[in-house]
Chains A and B, each alone.
Chain A
Amino acid sequence: MTAVLARRDLLAALLAATALPGLAHAAPDAPLFGDLDHAAAGRIGKAWLARHPDAGAAALARRLFPNGRGPDALPALRRQLSEDFRRGAVFVHRGWRLSETEGALFGLLALEG
């Protein structure tokens, strides 16, 4: 699998997840991240990876998507994100306080980009 295809899979999985009833108000065909600036996201991801030098794409994908990149991915990520904040597992980037899960997601985007 190429990196580009992997990223497409990741975004598609998250896009599918937003179409779940009650999960979001997004229209099913709306792009999840819209025109996400991949260069900017990549820089955030690299900042996270700098603090996790042993993280690899495969391990991160297993951690973030243990059940695959299907429709259930986003609710699971969402639960993990809340738990992260409640136990202080955060990634601070230029002052922005993000969950470790978000940091890992940016890291995966960087690795797969």
Chain B
Amino acid sequence: MAFIDARTLPDASPIEADLIIIGGGLAGITLARELAGGPLKVAVLESGGREIDEAIQDLYAGTAVVKAPDNPDKPFDDYPLQSRARVLGGSGMIWGGKCVPLDPADFIARPWAPHTGWPMTRQQLQPFYDRACDLLEIPRFDAGDKALKDPARPPLALDPRDGFFSAPRVFTRYSGGADRAAFDRFRTDFAAAPNITVYLHANVTRIRLTPNGDKGGGDVVEGLDVACLDGKRHTAVGQTYVLAVGGIENVRLLLASNGVRPEGIGNRRDLVGRFFQGHVTYALDGDAETEGTAVQVSRQASMSLYLNPGRAAAHCVVAAGLPAQARLKTGNFTATLYAAGETGAGTPTQAETKALRRVATRMDGASPGDGQLLGFFAMSEHFPNPDSRVTLNMATKDPLGMPRIHLEWRYAKADWDSLERSAAAFGDALGAAGQGRVCWPVQRRKLLEISSASRHHMGTTRMSADPAKGVVDPDQKVHDTANLYVTGSSVFPTSGIANPTLTILALTLRLADHLKRDMGARQ
């Protein structure tokens, strides 16, 4: 129906709808798009406006540190502020648009990796992945990703016995970083539907509960406190509420809404905020003295499939499948190859690299020449870790009175073991297949130093059918509540190595179907 700037409403205005979506990022927008034109009256409450604004963005500010064995702590205070965008369209505004589903292995409970396993399989989520792909106008990731493999640009001929496979990525144009005009349509056109109202500059500062959990039906959300940075205060009341403000802010709002439950909403078992997982790349540039992370490709005539070919075509990486993970007792792993020039010209280092590449190429039975020398970055699954967590810093509050957050992003020894074993196995797979060699010159004590964090925040309101193991149930409803759902990457039990947006959209489409059924039955 409309966009409304909440600052223009009279103070203490009531916002009423059947469904209230907290957050107008890609998850919230996708849910609203699914419900547009339907019978339910939907209100979307978005903190930001149409453009990124420094004062609004500052509401994210908090503190953070990364801790890992054998490495000095890495202060990371700017991460909460800089890793998401508080604006209509959310972090879709700064997203690169890279899309890939989680691998089937990511959904499986792996005995060697504690706290793994989703309450659904990749196959069960596949129809929603397909719909998400259609929504983003990208090819579907069908079995074997056949639609994404270009015969003219074959992937590396790795031996399936070694457990590594080609895992293409593609790009959608529906991101602020790709096609702003298309993304503007994506984030606004649904609001033309008569049942949709999007409130901008509307910050939810508290979820108000009616305690009912002890009677078996779950606590009932009775309304929301809404605040504007100009001082206006409103309320929002609906039948059902969906929290969709990101993997850190979802936690912040649940924990800060402690008027009825001192521990916060959905937190009776002290799980809200735990199991924070992120995606990190590991790459080292070479110099005159030291080697960088590199791949010598001996035989492949054209490596264009493995080099980032731009946004219009498949973008491929090599990934470790479940058999390799089971054999190595590792998590998911990918190696993304990219063009890189030789370093250290004229140095002994370069001469040795050239010599071993020449011998490797001949040993692999390739044509004269030295094959191709490429750079690569590794990514390794961050195992679910209850000590990796988001908490509130009650001593520091933002201009709306909300406590700031503290992120303690923790790695365990198993994470480093998995990364190093996987990188070695990647090299072994390439060598065994006669396709090339891998250079992984990274010392464990330098891993944090060379890491680069993505903006993906996952796992903090993890999904499980068992209330003792998860914050939300398989329908994404907060355990012990009657009418509060969460969507976004915070519900991921494990993070895989897939860029999370496609999975966020798939889960949100699945939630939309559930809400249509559930709320339709109640109308």
Contacts and interface: CB of A to CB of B under 8 A. Distances in A.
Interface of A: 14, 18, 23-27, 30-34, 36-37, 39-41, 43-44, 74, 77-78, 81-82, 84-86, 88, 90, 93-99, 101-102, 105-106
B213 interface: no
Contact of B437 (A24, A82, A96): A96
A97 B437 contact: yes
Contact of B359 (A23, A30, A33, A88): A33
Contacts of A25: 366-367
B397 interface: no
A90 to B, nearest CB: 7
Interface in B392-443: 424, 427-429, 431-434, 437-442
Interface stretch (B191-199, B345-353, B510-518): B345-353
A97 B366 contact: no
Contact of B358 (A34, A85, A96): A34
Given A31-B368, A37-B351, A90-B424, 12 more contacts: A18-B365, A23-B365, A24-B365, A26-B368, A32-B362, A37-B354, A40-B355, A82-B431, A85-B431, A86-B432, A95-B293, A102-B359
A97 B359 contact: no
A78 B432 CA distance: 9
B32 interface: no
Q: Which 9 A-B pairs have the closest CB atoms?
A: A95-B441, A97-B427, A40-B351, A85-B432, A85-B431, A40-B355, A25-B367, A85-B428, A95-B439
B156 to A, nearest CB: 14
A14 B358 CA distance: 13
B9 interface: no
Nearest to A18: B362
B355 A44 contact: yes
Q: Which of A24, A74, A96 has the most CB of B within 10 A?
A: A96
Contacts of B162: 86
A98 B291 contact: no
A100 B359 CA distance: 13
Interface string B327-362: 000000000000000000000110111111011101
A94 B350 CA distance: 11
Nearest to B442: A95
A81 B431 CA distance: 8
A40 B362 contact: no
A82 B214 CA distance: 63
7 contacts: A31-B368, A78-B363, A86-B162, A90-B428, A93-B356, A95-B293, A98-B437
Nearest to A75: B365
Contacts of B293: 95
Nearest to A30: B368
Interface in B260-304: 290-291, 293, 296
Contact of B438 (A30, A43, A97): A97
B274 to A, nearest CB: 36
Contacts of A40: 348, 351-352, 354-355
A96 B428 contact: no
Q: Which of B349, B355, B366 has the most CB of A within 10 A?
A: B355
A18 B366 CA distance: 9
Q: Which of B362, B424, B442 has the most CB of A within 10 A?
A: B362
A81 B430 CA distance: 11
A106 B365 contact: no
Contacts of B354: 37, 40
A14 B362 contact: yes
A82 B366 contact: no
Contacts of A39: 351
B442 A86 contact: no
A43 B431 contact: no
Contact of B363 (A26, A81, A94, A96): A81
Nearest to A45: B355
A34 B356 contact: no
A25 B441 CA distance: 31
Contact of B434 (A34, A41, A78): A78
Given A32-B362, A98-B437, A88 B352 contact: no
B500 to A, nearest CB: 31
A50 to B, nearest CB: 14
Contacts of B364: 78
Contact of B440 (A77, A81, A97): A97
